[in-house]
Amino acid sequence: MFGLQFVKNLKRIKLLNWMLGSYGDPPPPKLLSEDEYYIQGKIETQKALEELKQYCRSPQCSPWKTLNRIDSPKRFASFIEGDSHILESEMTLYEEDMQLLMDEEQALIDNFISEDESEDQIKLNDETTEEDMGFAEDV
């Protein structure tokens, strides 16, 4: 008896979904542009770092357990007191790596463009007509 009622309910739901069609579907999510993604990442990172600082200052955080798991307790303490979570040397290394990646990417783009231009030149040479070569018929 229970199984029959369950099947009937499933059929009703299926019919309802069919009747609603696309009206029952949620709208697709709005995708972020690259700039919006960067800004959102920066905002969320700052918010998460602030939440971490607040938690570490709260009574729920066990300082001895936390310090026991950390490689650099002095750095952690300075972070809790408001210093940056990134060292200057880490930032410099990151910027150098990013510059290398950007240079490599630009070189690939330049190479691709120059190959594309040479292909265009070949196509132009192939499309040269007899008239262009001076073999036009006299009319």
3-state secondary structure of 134: coil
pLDDT in tens, 63-81: 788 888 888 888 888 888 8
Q: Of all helices (H) and strands (E), which one includes residue 21? A: none
> Is there a contact between 80 and 57 (Cβ–Cβ < 8 Å)?
yes
Mean pLDDT of the region 26-49: 91
Question: Are the CB atoms for 55 and 61 separated by under 8 Å?
Answer: yes
81-107 confidence digits (pLDDT tens): 888 888 999 999 999 999 999 999 999
pLDDT band at residue 19 under the 50/70/90 scheme: low
Q: Is the pLDDT of residue 126 over 60?
A: no
CA distance 17 to 97: 52
Q: Would you say residue 46 has pLDDT above 90?
A: yes
In the predicted structure, residue 45 carries a pLDDT above the cut 80: yes
